Amino acid sequence: MKRLHADFLDSQEAFDRAKKYWQSLFESCAKEMGVSSQWKPLWGETEFCTPYTDMDAVSVFSAQDQSGSRGVQITQWTARTGPEMISAYTKTFGLHTDKPLYLLVIVVTSTESTVAICRSLLNIWLMPFDTMKRLLVTIDPEHFIRKKRKKK
């Protein structure tokens, strides 16, 4: 299993390549769902990610919709060996305010198979829903758990 952009914290150039990769993936999903013009950098950032730093698990991509009610944050682990890993969960900011932000957080070691799962999660998150509750119910963890096949 080949790691994609496993060197992303080795240099600013490697980090920029990883940022561009994740931004392209998100833009592709947003275009497929017909919502590409409705997303912008998260919390007023000038880019779709945090700046390069020398730390593990840095956010390589983040965005929010124009209404400010839905966001995405992708964090890439630097692990170059070991099993693939992907975790996704939602966080809510300002739940008891007029305008809460529902954030989909994806933490991933980047491989072809985990990126495919990320794409599925993003496509669901980008779907139009009449209520956030219906969207959160739609993201069923069982759908994304890969079952191991028994060896014969």
What residue ranges do the domains of the chain occupy?
12-139
Q: How far apart are CA 114 and CA 50, in angstroms?
A: 21
Please give the Cα distance from 62 to 47 (Å, whole number). Answer: 8
Per-residue pLDDT at 29 exceeds 70: yes
How much is the pLDDT for 128?
Answer: 76
User: Mean pLDDT across the stretch 17-33?
Assistant: 90
Question: Is-contact 58 9, C-beta < 8 A?
Answer: yes
**Residue 148, pLDDT above cutoff 70:** no
Name the pTM for this structure. Answer: 0.75
Q: How confident is the model at residue 122 (pLDDT cuts 50, 70, 90)?
A: very high
